Amino acid sequence: MKSLSTTGLTLLLLTLLAGGVFISLTQGSWDVSNSRIWDIILSRFGVMPDLNISSVEIAIIWDGRLPRVLTAALVGFSLAVAGAVMQGIFKNPMASPGVIGISSGAALGAVLAIYLGLTAIFPQALPLMAIIGALLTLMTVYMIATSAGRTSIATLLLAGIALNLILGAVTSFVITLSTKEFDVGRVIVTWLMGDLNNRLWFHVEIVALTTLSALVMIFSFIRELNILMLGEEGAANLGVAVGRVRNILLLAASIMTGGAIAVAGVIGFVGLVAPHMVRAVIGPDNRRLIPLAGLLGAVFLVYADLFVRLYIPVDLKVGVLTSLLGGPFFIWQIIRYRNRFEYM
């Protein structure tokens, strides 16, 4: 597999992503021709007049399909990059936002924002609460797993599993309370399944902002992340401020996770699968791994959403599909690394 070059993999992923976006825009209950799609997009940017474009086609493409596929791509990219960063920091291929509980924390924060009606007053409350939930969960897991300045990877994963259960129980309790208001309860349950239906440009703006801001933080310390993978003691000897760099990178991963979950709900295993697959092809250098893992995550979620939208007769949520695909992969990872026990 490693015979595939970085350039070749980049071109392959970009081609697949462009193909997925193209299919997403053209296919559906109302088929729209290629030329009409370009006319609609160019007219929205003011490049050409929209005299011959129907309002129905504009609503379908510009207000419906385009924000949905862009949200899917950005969410997949964010979750995969967050997973790659965490796997690099903890030097463990099983670390990911979902496994160590960050996704559950972000989900609880967002569910509280919906249940308390904060989103109706302040639309930005959803991503803000999701990010706060992700950060608080990360801090809790990290404190549990750290003793005398050393972080046990095994304890980290176990703490993540425990917090997943606790946060899931609290989320279920909130859902129980919300059943008194049918519409609120339905929104929460649907959202927890991982849903990309009816995404708007507002959702694209949220996840684009969190993704770009976190990427700036990550690539500002990409060299230090590579050094951290050699071990904390060695990194400190090379002049890396280990605690500061690690905290900034974990903050960036939490921001990415919170932003993604805020707009799409709980999407499992993308952050686990994508970095591992790319690492197997190009190696562990995060300067190449992180952007390519992000691209693979984007491709994966765009095609997963296409599958549930075009080929499943019932309203299957994309988060359910990613969990069905990612769960067996995670089990395989556990079996593969079950004899591994290491400290940071």
Domain annotation covers residue 319: yes
pLDDT at 12: 95
- Cα separation, 10 vs 46, whole angstroms: 31
pLDDT above 50 for 277: yes
CATH of the domain at 129: 1.10.3470.10
pLDDT at 339: 60
Read off the pLDDT band of 18 (50, 70, 90). Answer: very high
pLDDT above 90 for 15: yes
Instruction: For 205-225, write each residue's pLDDT tens digit.
Output: 999 999 999 999 999 999 999
Instruction: For 69-84, write each residue's pLDDT tens digit.
Output: 999 999 999 999 999 9
Instruction: For 151-181, write each residue's pLDDT tens digit.
Output: 676 787 788 889 989 998 999 898 888 777 7
Domain annotation covers residue 118: yes
Return the structure tokens found at 209: 């902002």
Domain annotation covers residue 344: no
Which of 35-44, 83-92, 133-142, 301-310 is predicted least confidently? Answer: 35-44
pLDDT at 341: 45
pLDDT above 50 for 1: no
Domain annotation covers residue 341: no
Domain annotation covers residue 222: yes
Helix axes of 201-220 and 125-145: crossing angle, nearest 10 degrees: 40
Q: What is the residue-wise DSSP string for 159-174?
A: HHHHHHHHHHHHHHHH
pLDDT at 343: 42
Return the structure tokens found at 286: 């995060």
pLDDT above 70 for 38: yes
pLDDT above 60 for 279: yes
pLDDT above 50 for 267: yes
Mean pLDDT, rounded, for 4-23: 91
pLDDT at 70: 96
Q: Is 97 helix (H, G, I), strand (E, B) or coil?
A: coil
Domain annotation covers residue 32: yes
From the number of C-beta atoms within 10 Å of its C-beta (0-12, 13-18, 19+), residue 336 rates as exposed
Mean pLDDT, rounded, for 234-262: 88
Percent of the chain at pLDDT above 90? 33
Q: Identify residue 295 by its one-letter amino acid code.
A: L
pLDDT above 90 for 314: no
Read off the pLDDT band of 344 (50, 70, 90). Answer: very low
Q: Is 283 helix (H, G, I), strand (E, B) or coil?
A: coil
Domain annotation covers residue 1: no
Domain annotation covers residue 99: yes
pLDDT at 333: 67
pLDDT above 80 for 30: no
pLDDT at 60: 87
Query: Mean pLDDT in the chain?
Result: 85
Handedness of CA 90, 95, 100, 105 (dihedral sign): positive
| Conformational region of residue 225, where left means phi above 0, alpha means psi within -120 to 50, and beta covers everything else | alpha
Separation in Å, CA 213 to CA 86, 99, 217, 218, 301: 17, 24, 7, 9, 21
Q: How many domains does the chain have?
A: 1
> For the whole model, what pTM was predicted?
0.88
Angle subtended at Cα 23 by Cα 18 and Cα 29, rounded to the nearest 5 degrees: 155
Angle subtended at Cα 286 by Cα 302 and Cα 3, rounded to the nearest 5 degrees: 75
155: domain range?
6-336
